[in-house]
Amino acid sequence: MFKKILIANRGEIACRVAATARRLGLKTVAVYSDADASAKHVSFCDESVHIGGSAPRDSYLRWEKIIEAAKTTGAEAIHPGYGFLSENEEFAKACAVAGLIFIGPPASAIKAMGLKSESKQLMEKAGVPLVPGYHGSDQNPVMLKHEADRIGYPVLIKASAGGGGKGMRAVEKSEDFDAALASCKREAINSFGNDTVLVEKYAQRPRHIEIQVFGDMHGNYVYLFERDCSVQRRHQKVLEEAPAPGLSSEMRQQMGLAAVAAARAVNYVGAGTVEFIVEQRADGSMNFFFMEMNTRLQVEHPVTEAITGLDLVEWQLRVASGEPLPLAQDQLRINGHAIEARICAENPDNNFLPTTGTLHVYDKPVCTAFERAELRNAGIAVRIDDGVGQGDTISPFYDSMVAKLIVHGQTREEALARMDEALAQTRIVGLATNVQFLRYVVRSPSFAQANLDTALIPREEAVLFNQEPVGLAMAAAAAIAQTLLSEKATEGSDPFSRRDGWQTHGVTQRPFEFDFRGEPAKAALTYGHDGALQLTVGGMSGPLAFSKGVQGIDIQFASQRVTATVYTQGEVDHVFTARGATQITAIDLLAHAGESHTEGGRLTAPMPGKILSFSVKAGDLVKKGQPLAVMEAMKMEHTIAAPADGVVEELLYAPGDQVTEGAELLKISV
């Protein structure tokens, strides 16, 4: 076994790898960018080396710097994590040239599986079932369309070099093919520098089921069962679980053997994932087809760890140091059920637009700390893998994943209940996240009943978006309770001393104004002679009583009882209850007296990023909602739309320009 390894990554995966290394007694070296100077992964490792600027190409992708860091610190091997250099054949080769061990597959296997078209040709030879389609080298658009017509619609056009859900276009009918092909090729050349595409049948009611495989240097292979990752947005995974609900043991074995055949065909070594698309036919039959192989540790590997009781990073380290696989196929068992939720800095109600900001509050559910958890006992009920702490910032430079929440139960129902509870205890203030959305997904009929396919999110749209888990009345009651409690703590409880209360016939009334979900709302609080409170808000009126409890503020209002935790950030109260979380803005009646609001036709960048293109020029007439520009930030493309009808006066940036958050991109006169 190695004595010291370098981890060529950041965030949760760098911390995850370091935890196992430490448990096995290995020393760890972190690398970091400017933005990550005080990141958790840096303090988590024994040593650290600064490798450059914040943008990945200036740091985490600079492999000559990383190799130099390994040499100077005396690390024997490099763990690439996922993303960044993990699937970079040149990097794997450069490690070998420098006398370092790359903790991953041989460069030849990375290359063989790197391009989707070429890997499909290989898999065809190895007898692995493929989705009907065209994955040849002829890229003539007329020929590709001809192939699509032959395959039959709907089809999927995929960038051969694609990844991360990018470079894919579903096409419903022949007439739409040419435009989709052109746009797919454009995205492919921009994102991957390679516009080769393949065309394949779009599977019916598709499920994404992948197999975890492992190989060693002695020719042994095993599969560590499957993960169902069907719940996706933008073709990217949001919730993953193991085992896959409803998968028969015969099909599990067939898929496992096909995945092992895929790995064997490329002399695979280490951890890899063979992704299959599973078609669910109307007659109930299921067929699986090879999609791609990811030649690295996968984001969702913890669900496999939870059901097998194994530590996959430990296996990676053992295999890379030349040891044989710790267990044979017949020694592997599935225990219970595990689900992972990816907690991301994004706004589901705004087309999942990534968000940035500071984690002012970051409360987590009680977990079995991973470093201490004896995974072998598979006793982990709740686990959080993250690379951030309270006070840290989610910056625009890297992807938007804040943390992974993993739960285990003896049954799927148990795991589901645990997930809902764990999400309820995950409280983040400072930036928008998908925590509440994940709770809706977990509770949606489709997910709860394991009616899974990749269209789950659009199908359940009605119960997933723009929900109101805590109504105005309770949100206002919580905000008022919080205000009164903090006033009591600072200035005493005498309502008569308040500047904004007034008195009539010995009864003190106090008005409140809120902004709740974009709508103004008024509330009135009445103090009775006996100190009892009466609240009127949102068409409800009744006694209000509250007290500070251990779990938060216990509130009773209009025959409802709720325990709420309220975090105040400026004028915004973030209210967390068992039913869900919401925000309510308290308008300071004195501060806002006489103020007027004006909304202009300003068009600003919602986040820092790069301008990719403008679709308008000065002088153009634009309609509200019309796309004006495309920017790239946090590895995704965002379309900027016109806020109102108007005329474009001036473009203030050019394609390729880097812009800061809030920068005015173009002027529109309305």
Active site amino acids: 296
Helix (H, G, I), strand (E, B) or coil at 489: helix
Per-position DSSP letters for 127-143, written without gaps between them: T--B-SEE-SS---HHH
Task: Tell which one of 14, 15, 29, 83 touches ligand ADP (CB under 6 A).
Answer: 83
Measured between its terminal Cα atoms, the distance across the chain in Å is 68
Q: Side chain identity at 157, as an amino acid letter? A: I
Nearer to ligand ADP, 239 or 629 (CB): 239
Binding partner at 83 among Mg ion, ligand ADP, none, C-beta below 5 to 8 Å by kind:
ligand ADP
From 594, 468, 480, select the one nearest 537 (Cα to Cα).
480
Closest distance of CB 212 from ligand ADP, Å = 11
Buried (b) or exposed (e) across 546-574, using 16+ Cβ within 10 A? beeeeebbbbbbbeeebebbbbeeeeebb
Task: Tell which one of 236, 287, 347, 368 touches ligand ADP (CB under 6 A).
Answer: 236
Binding to ligand ADP, residues 88-117 (CB under 6 A): none
Beta bridge partners of 577: 580
Nearer to Mg ion, 236 or 604 (CB): 236
Region from 64-72, 287-295, 513-521, 532-540 binding ligand ADP, contact rule CB under 6 A: 287-295
Closest distance of CB 240 from Mg ion, Å = 12
Nearer to Mg ion, 275 or 305 (CB): 275
Task: Give the x-and-dash track for 266-295 against Mg ion (CB under 5 A).
Answer: ---------x--------------------
* Residue 246 backbone class (left: φ over 0; alpha: ψ -120 to 50; beta: rest): left
Does 277 bind ligand ADP (CB under 6 A)? Our answer is: yes
Beta bridge partners of 174: none
Neighbouring residues of 194: CB distance < 8 A, sequence distance ≥ 6:
115, 159, 160, 161, 188
Q: Side chain identity at 119, as an amino acid letter? A: S
Binding partner at 299 among ligand ADP, Mg ion, none, C-beta below 5 to 8 Å by kind:
ligand ADP
Residues that bind ligand ADP (rule: CB under 6 A) add up to a total of 33
Peptide bond preceding 106: is omega within 30 degrees of 0, i.e. cis? no
Task: Give the x-and-dash track for 339-378 against ligand ADP (CB under 6 A).
Answer: ----------------------------------------
Task: Give the x-and-dash track for 299-338 against ligand ADP (CB under 6 A).
Answer: xx--------------------------------------
Nearer to Mg ion, 275 or 346 (CB): 275
Does 208 bind ligand ADP (CB under 6 A)? Our answer is: yes
Binding partner at 383 among ligand ADP, Mg ion, none, C-beta below 5 to 8 Å by kind:
none
Region from 231-239, 310-318, 565-573, 581-589 binding ligand ADP, contact rule CB under 6 A: 231-239
Report DSSP state, residue 607.
S
Task: Give the x-and-dash track for 443-472 against ligand ADP (CB under 6 A).
Answer: -----------x------------------
Binding to Mg ion, residues 121-140 (CB under 5 A): none
Does 56 bind ligand ADP (CB under 6 A)? Our answer is: no
Beta bridge partners of 409: 337
Buried (b) or exposed (e) across 616-628, using 16+ Cβ within 10 A? beeebebeeeeeb
Binding partner at 364 among Mg ion, ligand ADP, none, C-beta below 5 to 8 Å by kind:
none
Closest distance of CB 88 from Mg ion, Å = 17
φ and ψ at residue 568, rounded to 5 degrees: -100, 130
Binding partner at 446 among ligand ADP, Mg ion, none, C-beta below 5 to 8 Å by kind:
none
Nearer to Mg ion, 187 or 275 (CB): 275
User: How many Å apart are CA 269 and CA 562, to the nearest integer?
Assistant: 54
Kindly give the pairing relationship between strand 270-280 and strand 168-171: unpaired
Nearer to ligand ADP, 280 or 425 (CB): 280
Task: Tell which one of 232, 316, 426, 583 touches ligand ADP (CB under 6 A).
Answer: 232
Binding to ligand ADP, residues 528-567 (CB under 6 A): none
Task: Please give the residue whose beta carbon sits closest to Mg ion in the complex.
Answer: 275
Does 166 bind ligand ADP (CB under 6 A)? Our answer is: yes
Binding partner at 36 among Mg ion, ligand ADP, none, C-beta below 5 to 8 Å by kind:
none
Closest distance of CB 312 from ligand ADP, Å = 12
User: How many Å apart are CA 573 and CA 584, to the nearest integer?
Assistant: 5
Neighbouring residues of 4: CB distance < 8 A, sequence distance ≥ 6:
26, 27, 28, 29, 73, 74, 75, 76
User: How many Å apart are CA 337 and CA 304, to the nearest integer?
Assistant: 9
Q: Is the CB of residue 168 less than 8 Å from the CB of residue 162? A: yes
Binding partner at 228 among Mg ion, ligand ADP, none, C-beta below 5 to 8 Å by kind:
none
Q: Is the CB of residue 89 less than 8 Å from the CB of residue 296? A: no
Closest distance of CB 250 from ligand ADP, Å = 23
Beta bridge partners of 242: 338
Residues that bind Mg ion (rule: CB under 5 A) add up to a total of 1
Task: Give the x-and-dash track for 622-641 against ligand ADP (CB under 6 A).
Answer: -------------x------
Task: Tell which one of 52, 105, 106, 162 touches ligand ADP (CB under 6 A).
Answer: 162
Instruction: Kindly report the number of other CB atoms within 10 A of residue 653's CB atom.
Output: 18
Buried (b) or exposed (e) across 333-364, using 16+ Cβ within 10 A? ebebbbbbbbbbbbbbbeebbbbbbbbebbeb
Neighbouring residues of 170: CB distance < 8 A, sequence distance ≥ 6:
154, 155, 156, 180, 202
Per-position DSSP letters for 384-452, written without gaps between them: EEES--TT-EE-TTS--EEEEEEEEESSHHHHHHHHHHHHHT-EEESS--SHHHHHHHHHSHHHHTT--
Does 163 bind ligand ADP (CB under 6 A)? Our answer is: yes
Binding partner at 606 among Mg ion, ligand ADP, none, C-beta below 5 to 8 Å by kind:
none
Q: Is the CB of residue 309 less than 8 Å from the CB of residue 224? A: no
Task: Give the x-and-dash track for 592-611 against ligand ADP (CB under 6 A).
Answer: --------------------
Nearer to Mg ion, 65 or 227 (CB): 227
Kindly give the pairing relationship between strand 627-633 and strand 77-79: unpaired
> Which residues are at the interface with ligand ADP (CB under 6 A)?
82-83, 131, 156, 158, 162-166, 168, 191, 200-203, 206, 208, 232, 235-237, 275, 277, 291-292, 294, 298-300, 399, 454, 635
> Which residues are at the interface with Mg ion (CB under 5 A)?
275
